[in-house]
Structures are given as C-alpha cells and as structure tokens.
Amino acid sequence: MKAKIYITYKDGILDPQGKTVGGALNSMGLSNIHDVSIGKFIEMKFDSKLSKEQVVELTEQSCKKLLANPNTEQYSYDILDEE
C-alpha cells in the first residue's frame, strides 16, 4: 500500500508563493482563477505485511509528528493499494 499525503497552509495563513503564482496566472491572461495555494505532496510506501488500519495509523502519526506543522498547516491523505 502507499499513502499520498497533501499538506497545505491552514485558512488565514499567508501563502505568498500561492499569491504570487496566482497573480502571474492572471497576468498571463488566465483569468477567473483565484486563491491559488501551494503546498507539499509526499508519497510513502509501506511494508506489504501491514493492514490498512496500520497504514492509516502510521500515516496519521507521520503527519502529526513531523510532516505538517500543526500551527500553520493542515494535511489530508489517500491510502491506495499499490499498482
């Protein structure tokens, strides 16, 4: 199994990269795009012996303890069976 993890800024936290890229898209003529936000994408693969519950638990712990900063960031993830 693998986890695809998405980390983004919480609402209300300044995201200057997102703002700048959003401005660039608009100035290219791609209008009607607003609220661009830039985050991180992390993929983790797991030992095949693990159950889905164990994979979810490991992913949750990884996000909580290291991958995301709880003060400024939120996370979500998808757990997938590996192709």
Partner 1 sequence: MKKVAIIVFPGSNCDHDAFYVINSIGNVKVDFVWHKDSDLSLYDVIVIPGGFSYGDYLRAGAIARFSPIMKSIIAESKKGKKIIGICNGFQILIECDLLPGALIINKNIKFLSKMICLDVVNNESAFTHLYKKGELISMPIAHRQGNYLADLELVRRLEDNNQIAFRYHSQNLNGSVSDIAGIFNENKNVLGMMPHPERASDPILGSDDGLNIFKSILDF
Binding site for partner 1 (CB under 8 A): 13-14, 16-17, 20, 40, 66-67, 69, 71-72
Name the residue nearer to partner 1 (CB basis): 30 or 70: 70
Write down the least CB distance from residue 25 to partner 1, Å: 16
Label residues 44-83 b or e (16+ Cβ within 10 Å = b).
bebeeeeeeeebeebbeebbeeebbeeeebbbebeeeeee
Name the residue nearer to partner 1 (CB basis): 55 or 68: 68
Which strands make up the sheet holding 2-9, listed edge to edge?
A: 40-45, 2-9, 73-80
Write down the least CB distance from residue 13 to partner 1, Å: 7
Write down the least CB distance from residue 82 to partner 1, Å: 24
Name the residue nearer to partner 1 (CB basis): 40 or 52: 40
Q: Is 34 helix (H, G, I), strand (E, B) or coil?
A: coil
